[in-house]
Structure 1
């Protein structure tokens, strides 16, 4: 019989696999198709839908991205990855909350494409408009932008120091460090773009329509020459890295006796 912790672990691994598809397609589109990347996140999901069994893949991504979001929410609320409760620990955990919200938005977009063939309503912008209509909604969006800034800092630090290897099995391929390093630095750039769009929408009356999701953030760099190319390569590297994580990532048990995982030395 499979216990709850094992089910959770399986769901998270599907999440890493879904993330691998998402980032690999994003990187490939950015490097090969200017027209598609200009469509932002919608272009990514439309490309996936056009694959053989594309709708089935989208449904798998809905499940996986939702599972990954739960993993990050659990990291924030219950500290299942043992970051601690000091300032640094809480900064990492708040960053995970921003990541969780971002992946929930991606899961919703995948759901819209799986069920209706498009996300013409602009899921993230629509949700942001709803938040802005609430009292203190602008503050919430602005704070979410700050959470993405914090996440970007830790993503860059991970990429440069290789600290992410502590949470990966020693049996992982030798290329894992290089792929992860390039991917995390590229993600840091993308998260800064997303964070700035949220910060402007929340604190500078920029409007919900300017908020950028993953694909939109990469597309906004299209005129930046070498920076765009390096970020696109980094997105592809992060996709391959996520595929490795789907098998080799150390995922902590959810049981009360196994909350803190034995990370790789």
Structure 2
């Protein structure tokens, strides 16, 4: 019986991860589309929560919402597996630990989005509660100084994305079809760089408006896209960023279909045997 369990849970984790990548793709496709459209039509950029609301309002809204309620927790769980069990093999050096910590916080973000989607499905409030929890409790202590380390983290994440796109490091997690490898690789690079631009803009907001942002009110994707739209030639930059975020959605679709999901062995009997050994 123990020989079957690892296969079962590995298959379940892999399917959950791929479903989660699909949900992530939907969110970024919507965010990118509205950012691109707002550059020409004077609309408003969207946050992740706004993107989920737009998906709910689509012709297949209820189907989309049920998919998100199932897929987003699965993706959050996959992020936690990547963080705690080193499913991607990043190791325990400084870079590996930093990457795994990033996976953990990414899991927290998608778990929050899953809870938000669930609140829509089950009829709870659809409005943002405006911060809260631990960060709100600590806000009076950190004040605007919170923005400096947060900005540095965002800048480091942006740099890591650019490096990943430039070196092609992301390709080691993909097995793209040879007939389409060229354009799909280019699409993935564009998407990753576009997300780096968003992270860099969030860092810029942290650094230049330290008095404005607090731990319970931190800038996100929507604020970054709005800021880009206000720069010189902002309409052009925003349209390119929006198109790039749609490309990032395509990258997530590629991960859902062709990504390497390396689920670790979580069989408790083997873990106990290893401990006894």
Normalized against structure 2, the TM-score is what?
Answer: 0.77
Query: 1:112 and 1:191, CA in 2 relative to 1: closer, same or farther beyond 3 A?
Result: farther
Instruction: Choose from 207, 220, 223 the match for 2:214.
Output: 207
Match of 1:13 among 13, 18, 21: 18
Q: Which residue of 1 aligns with 2:161?
A: 155
Q: How many residue pairs align between the two structures?
A: 253
Contact 2:155 2:200 in 1 (8 A): yes
Which one has a bigger Cα radius of gyration? 2
8 Å contact kept, 1:41–1:216? no
* 1:38-89 deviation digits (Å, cap 9, x = unpaired): 4534432222111122122122113222222222222222211111111221
- Root-mean-square deviation (Å): 3.2
138-147 or 8-17, larger mean C-alpha shift: 138-147
After TM superposition, the structure 1 = structure 2 runs for residues 112-261 of structure 1, keeping only pairs within 5 Å, are 112-116=119-123, 119-122=126-129, 125-127=130-132, 130-134=134-138, 138=142, 146-171=152-177, 173-174=180-181, 175-194=183-202, 206-208=213-215, 210-224=217-231, 225=234, 226-255=236-265
Structure 2 vs 1, CA of residues 163 and 221 (structure 1 numbering), >3 Å: closer, same or farther?
same
CA distance in 1, matches of 2:203, 2:67: 27
CA contact (8 A) 2:146 2:215 kept: no
Q: CA deviation at 1:171?
A: 2.6
Judge which range, 192-201 or 225-234, deviates more: 192-201
List runs of 5+ in structure 2 lacking aligned partners: 268-277
Residue 260 of structure 1: aligned partner: none
User: Structure 1 residues 200, 62: CA separation in 2 closer, same or farther (over 3 Å shift)?
Assistant: farther
Deviations 1:139-158 (A, max 9, x none): 99666665444332221211
Using the TM superposition, name which of 109-118 and 166-175 deviates more.
Answer: 109-118
Given that 1:19 and 1:239 are in contact with CA atoms closer than 8 Å, whether structure 2 keeps it comes out as yes
CA deviations over 1:109-130 (Å, ceiling 9, x no partner): 32333333863134xx423x64
Write out per-residue CA displacement over residues 188-217 of structure 1, whole angstroms, 9 at most, x where no aligned residue: 12223445667899x867334642333443
**Residue of structure 1 equivalent to 2:272:** none
Which residues of structure 1 form unaligned runs of 5+? Answer: 258-265
**Which whole-Å CA distance do the structure 2 matches of 1:197 and 1:8 have between them?**
37
Inter-partner Cα distance in structure 2 for 1:219 and 1:118:
25
Q: What corresponds to 2:101 in structure 1? A: 94
Is the Cα–Cα contact under 8 Å of residues 81 and 87 in structure 2 kept in the other structure?
Answer: yes
Q: Which structure 2 residues correspond to residues 56-95 of structure 1 after superposition, within 5 A?
A: 56-95=63-102
TM-score by length of 1: 0.80
Residues 25 and 111 (structure 1), Cα distance of their counterparts in 2 relative to 1, 3 Å cut: same
- The offset of 1:253, in angstroms, is 2.3
Separation of aligned partners in 2, 1:79 and 1:199: 32
